[in-house]
Amino acid sequence: AQRVTQPEKLLSVFKGAPVELKCNYSYSGSPELFWYVQYSRQRLQLLLRHISRESIKGFTADLNKGETSFHLKKPFAQEEDSAMYYCALKNAGGTSYGKLTFGQGTILTVHP
């Protein structure tokens, strides 16, 4: 069965420091991975997806199939990055196209 693990429930850094939110997955097929973010009092929204290979708000994430990881990184954290971050895996096969499996989430707090 597919699974997504975010080992850190809470992560605190100071403004300007690098930040890395960890995500590991298990999936028998070819995974499609995402990072979603939920800012305070806002709805869950897509931050980035691995197939796009893009950088959003300074964040990047590289899929490492050997280590089955998809860690989210930002070289210089900002206070406005404080939010809940979810790593998610999409089931791309069978009748469950689009079904997402989420990790438990990591609350990132960036201190001034």
Partner 1 sequence: NAGVMQNPRHLVRRRGQEARLRCSPMKGHSHVYWYRQLPEEGLKFMVYLQKENIIDESGMPKERFSAEFPKEGPSILRIQQVVRGDSAAYFCASSPKGTSSYEQYFGPGTRLTVT
Q: Under the criterion CB under 8 A, does residue 44 sit at the interface with partner 1?
A: yes
The binder of partner 1 chosen from 56, 105, 107, 109 (CB under 8 A): 105
- In sign, the C-alpha dihedral spanning 25, 31, 55, 42 is negative
Q: Under the criterion CB under 8 A, does residue 82 sit at the interface with partner 1?
A: no
| 58: its two tokens | 């300074």
Q: Which stretch binds partner 1 (CB under 8 A): 19-27, 58-66, 67-75, 98-106?
A: 98-106
How many beta carbons lie within 10 A of that of residue 77, not counting itself? 23
Which residues sit opposite 98 in a β-bridge? none
Minimum CB separation from partner 1 for residue 80, in Å? 20
